[in-house]
Chains A and B, each alone.
Chain A
Amino acid sequence: MGTRERRYRSNESDRYLASLFKKALVSLPPKAAHSGIALAAVGGYGRAELSPGSDLDILILHNDSLSESELSEFINKLLYPMWDTKSVDHSVRTRTQTRDAAHDDLKVALGLLDIRLVSGDADLVAAVQHDSIDSWRKESRKRLPQLRLSLEERHERAGELAYLLEPDLKEARGGLRDINALRAIKMSGAIDIALERISWAESILASVRESLHEVTKKNRDRLLFQEQDLVAKHLEYGDADLLMSDVARAARSVDYLLNSTWHRIDFKGKDGLGRILRKPRTTSLGGGISVAHQEVVIDELEDLNADPVIGLRAAAKAAQLGLPLSLDSCERLSAILKEGGAQLPQPWPREARENLVALIGAGSAMIDVFEALDQEEIIFSWIPEWNSVRSLPQRNVLHRHTVDRHMVETALKAAALTRNVHRPDLLLVGALFHDIGKGTQEDHSERGARLIEPLAKRFGFPQEDIETLKILVLHHLLLSATATRRDLDDPATIASILAVIPDLETLELLHALSIADGEATGRAAWSEWKASLVSELVSRVRNAMSGSTIALQPDISDEQREVAQSGILRVILEERDSDYSIEIISPDKPGLLSIVAGVLNLARLDVRSARTKSHGPSAVMKWIVTPDPHAPAITAEKLHRDIEAGLKDSKGIEERINDRALAYAQLPTIPVPAPIVESIRDAATDATVFEVRSHDRPALLFRIGAAVTQSQVDIRSAIVTTLGAEAIDTLYVTEISGGALSDERAREVRERLAEMLK
């Protein structure tokens, strides 16, 4: 099965048609028979690619010197013998008519790009070929958008070859027609395309299609379920799963090349003379990463070995901006990784983990970036476990996607649910790897729970987080199964859940994961009906659990207590591997949290976490910050001075922060789930606790602090955590005179916070 057979078939057809052609010529006057008439192959036949069931696409060219009756007699003589034996698609045109037809019809124009002489006047065919390619090149600016639109319409109709259970090998996205489209785009000269990247894919898809035609003795290109086993056997694959896995891989590589090609055309347009039309504008994001041509690029001079996290950083940045990673940067990174360079330390540093979480949490923008990491095989260097699920088919009516794509889709749905949990990082990682155990006969939940442990360890998660992830993977089907199959009124049902889920935090994570998994699987497995059953189960389990998910006020040491009592300002700065730990004990006053947050923001320090607590006349604060790539060096003394100045006059800080916000480069942002603001009266501490869960953004904490201060309340304690790109801020608040807030007042503060977050 292969090119040789297809070429052989094509040669046979050529011989057959040529002989018919010559016989038909006999009916014409001698002058006409020698020149001015020709038979050409176009389209797939023109490329000499014939499957057993293929139509013969032919074009009969003439120079208009024959009368109508002579011409039609000739055509009849030519075609009649083939009438019931071969399937022939023919047109009869002069050179001018061909030009006009191509001008009016994209399909005709595309078919002509592959025109080839079968028999007759070679000059006439050569002239038409020249016309076709020439006008295709000249009119590419008009034709390529037409081509793109027709591709999109076709994809809409036929779906994605890589993920359908019964795909159409020719029409679906990533299939044979797309390969032809890529060739046509290259021929137009608009952009150079590395077609060799898909030569394996093309040979696979063409062989599978050919085998399908042979095995079914039909001309259909749709690979139905029952035919997959036959084709697999015919092509000597072990089973249909292995066949469809290759088909999926082939389709994905075609789709990827097509997407990157369109993107490069959009943003790297050159005119016909090869002059670059748009002046390239590069925006530096710091850390060796920039944005150019609406792509994220790793700067040329970066030493990838010295900074192995840069790949993850670039991927996270790209996803969070909704932009692709540049093909060149991916190729560069891939090459170094394959040589064994740019290896991440084990366990991963915090920055690598945070960037992974930010990448996963980016929502739909993540899919393209992830696909690039897969296609360039970068993801396998970072996460070798991904190999076992790559393009692994799930050939049943329940699942639409291959296992790896399903996990990515689950992560995508989970990204929309990050506001529902207190550990968005664990939700996102759990979602992305929940089915990692698939691919063997063993129960995939159990196997997955085993596989996630070393993986999570490598990411640098602490042991208790690893335990949570194990529970999530082991029990990701528990809630759906229990909700539909067991009596929710029976205490034993609730008890069985409580036996495996240790706390509220894990329960809310498992609930969100169940929803994400269900939505990603599709309507066959998940519906409002099922969702409400699961919700009911969860609320009953929640009621049976004690404890809460609210972050607790931090403890302070005796030494800190002493310094706090004295009312002086003290700043201690500790430089760690990739961040700074800053302890600040400061005289307390309204707005202190904003003042310090503002000072840190102006020093270009990004707050990763903060724990503050009032004690006596002061507040004891512990901040973990990472310097922004453009940050100047900081010292404890400078911070001390800045805070002192801020304590005296806080207005200046707000102005400067607003100015900085305006100066940020205009880069696109992705849609993110709406922020959530909640308040709870906490009896234990006689305070009202406000929790703000939102997407992280510059000066977030400054603004939260400012909004709360405006309400004339006292912040007793604050616990701030940033996980990936998500922020969770918990504030213990009392009236200035003391005591928790009334419901009215709590609502007032909630509304101010919500307003500020818009």
Chain B
Amino acid sequence: MKLITAILKPFKLDDVKSALQAHGVNGMTVSEASGFGRQRGHTEVYRGAEYTVDLVPKVRLEVLVDDSDASSVVDVIVKAASTGSIGDGKVWTTPVDQIVRVRTGERGVDAI
């Protein structure tokens, strides 16, 4: 089993969600995040005060998948999230030892 984590541009969330649902992925967790990659920090004016921003708002999306699905799901996310410009984000997979569905107690692949 694998956890796929994706850091996305906020406005891309809807596109990625639709693509995942079309691909058959039914569950996900979404959270607000900030970060930077190779984007330069820049100066902003907010409420009249200047400050340097190197943390840019992003969205974190997490999906649990079976090993055999991992590769295709990553592809779906990358395709839907891509705009071709700086800041598109990254997607990565981590191995997962155990998953349990709280309501039913199902474990392992049945809990995905």
List residues of chain A with CB under 8 Å of any chain B CB.
417, 419-420, 483-489, 515, 527, 529-533, 535-536, 539, 676
Whether the Cβ atoms of A420 and B32 lie closer than 8 Å is no
Q: Are A484 and B10 in contact, with the CB atoms below 8 A?
A: yes
Interface residues of B in 43-92 (CB under 8 A from A): 44-48, 53, 57, 83, 85
Are B9 and A529 closer than 8 Å at their CB atoms?
no
A411 to chain B, nearest CB (A): 18
Given that A529-B34, A532-B53 are known contacts, is A487 also in contact with B46, CB under 8 Å in the complex?
no
Residue numbers in A under 8 Å from B45 (CB-CB): 535, 539
A529 touches B85 (CB 8 A): no
B14 at the interface (CB under 8 A from A): yes
Chain A residue contacts of B44, Cβ below 8 A: 532, 535-536, 539
Binding site for A on B (CB under 8 A): 9-11, 14, 32, 34, 44-48, 53, 57, 83, 85
Min CB–CB distance A674 → chain B (angstroms): 10
Contacts of B46 in A (CB 8 A): 531-532, 535
* A527→B32 contact, CB < 8 A: yes
A533 touches B48 (CB 8 A): no
Q: Please tell me if the beta carbons of A533 and B10 are within 8 angstroms of each other in the complex.
A: yes
Q: Given the interface contacts A529-B32, A535-B46, does A485 sit within 8 Å of B53 by beta carbon?
A: no
Please indicate the chain B residues that have their CB under 8 angstroms from the CB of A536 in the complex.
Answer: 44
A529 contacts B57, C-beta separation under 8 Å: yes
CB distance A487 to B57 under 8 Å? no
Q: Is the CB of A420 within 8 A of B48?
A: yes
Q: Which of B47, B57, B83, B85 contacts A533 (CB 8 A)?
A: B57
Query: Judging by beta carbons under 8 Å apart, are B83 and A489 in contact?
Result: yes
> 13 A-B pairs, CB-CB below 8 angstroms?
A420-B47, A420-B48, A484-B10, A485-B11, A485-B14, A487-B9, A489-B85, A515-B47, A530-B57, A533-B10, A535-B44, A539-B45, A676-B48
Considering the chains assembled together, what is the distance between the CA atoms of A530 and B34 in angstroms?
11
A342 to B22: give the CA distance in the assembly, Å: 65
Return B34 CB to nearest CB of chain A, in Å. Answer: 7
- Other CB < 8 Å A-B pairs besides A417-B47, A487-B9, A515-B47, 13 of them? A419-B48, A420-B47, A484-B10, A485-B10, A486-B11, A487-B83, A489-B83, A527-B32, A529-B34, A532-B44, A532-B46, A532-B57, A539-B45
> Which 6 pairs from chain A and chain B are nearest by CB?
A529-B32, A535-B46, A533-B57, A529-B57, A486-B11, A484-B10
Cα(A530)–Cα(B85), bound, Å: 21
Q: Which of B57, B83, B85 has the most CB of A within 10 A?
A: B57
Most buried by A among B9, B32, B44, B47: B47
- Chain B residues, CB < 8 A from A676: 48
Q: For A515, give the chain B residue with the smallest CB separation.
A: B47
Question: Across the A-B interface, how many residue pairs have beta carbons closer than 8 Å?
Answer: 39
Tell me how far the C-beta of A530 lies from the nearest C-beta in chain B, rounded to whole angstroms. Answer: 8
Give the CA-CA distance A527 to B14 in the complex, in Å: 20
Give Cα A489–Cα B45 distance, bound, in whole angstroms.
18
How far does the Cβ of B62 sit from chain A's closest Cβ, in whole Å? 17
B residues near A485, Cβ cutoff 8 Å: 10-11, 14
Residues of A within 8 A of B47 (CB): 417, 420, 515
Report the bound CA distance from A419 to B45 in whole Å. 14
Bound-state Cα–Cα, A531 to B34, Å: 12
In the bound complex, CA of A375 to CA of B85 (Å): 56
Q: How far is the CA of A487 from the CA of B14 in the complex (A)?
A: 12
Tell me, rounded to whole Å, the shortest Cβ–Cβ distance linking B46 to chain A: 5
- C-alpha spacing A536/B11, complex, angstroms: 14
Chain B residue at minimal CB-CB distance from A693? B48
**Chain A residues with CB below 8 A from B9, complex form:** 487
B residues in contact with A417, CB < 8 Å: 47
Q: Are B11 and A487 in contact (CB under 8 A)?
A: yes
Complex: A483 Cα to B57 Cα, angstroms:
11
Contacts of B32 in A (CB 8 A): 527, 529-530
| Residues in B neighbouring A488, C-beta threshold 8 A | 11
Q: Which residues of A contact B53 (CB under 8 A)?
A: 532
The CA of A514 and the CA of B57, in the complex, are separated in Å by 18
Neighbouring B residues of A532 by C-beta, 8 Å: 34, 44, 46, 53, 57
Q: Which residues of B lie under 8 Å from residue A535 when comparing CB positions?
A: 44-46
Bound-state CA distance A277–B32 (Å) is 59
B59 to chain A, nearest CB (A): 9
A487 to B44, CA, bound (A): 18
Cβ–Cβ contact A484 & B48, under 8 A:
no
Please indicate which of the listed interface residues B11, B14, B34, B44 has the most CB atoms of chain A within 10 Å of its own CB: B11
Q: Which residue of B lies closest to A493 (CB)?
A: B11
Please determine whether A484 and B11 come into contact, CB atoms closer than 8 angstroms: yes
Docked CA distance A57–B1 (Å): 59
- Please indicate the chain A residues that have their CB under 8 angstroms from the CB of B14 in the complex: 485
B60 to chain A, nearest CB (A): 11
Min Cβ gap B47→A in Å is 6
Q: Which residues of A contact B34 (CB under 8 A)?
A: 529, 532
CA distance A532 to B45 in the complex (A): 10
For B85, what are the chain A residues with a Cβ–Cβ distance below 8 Å? 489
- Cβ-closest chain B residue relative to A512: B47
CB distance from A345 to the nearest CB of B (A): 39
**Complex alpha-carbon distance, A484 and B12, angstroms:** 9
- Cα(A515)–Cα(B48), bound, Å: 13
- A527 to B34: give the CA distance in the assembly, Å: 12
Report the minimal beta-carbon distance from A509 to chain B, rounded to whole angstroms: 14
Task: For residue B43, give the distance in angstroms from its CB to the closest CB of chain A.
Answer: 10
Q: Which residues of B contact A529 (CB under 8 A)?
A: 32, 34, 57
In the assembled complex, which residues on chain B have CB atoms less than 8 Å from the CB atom of A530?
32, 57
Chain B residues positioned under 8 Å from A531 (CB to CB): 46
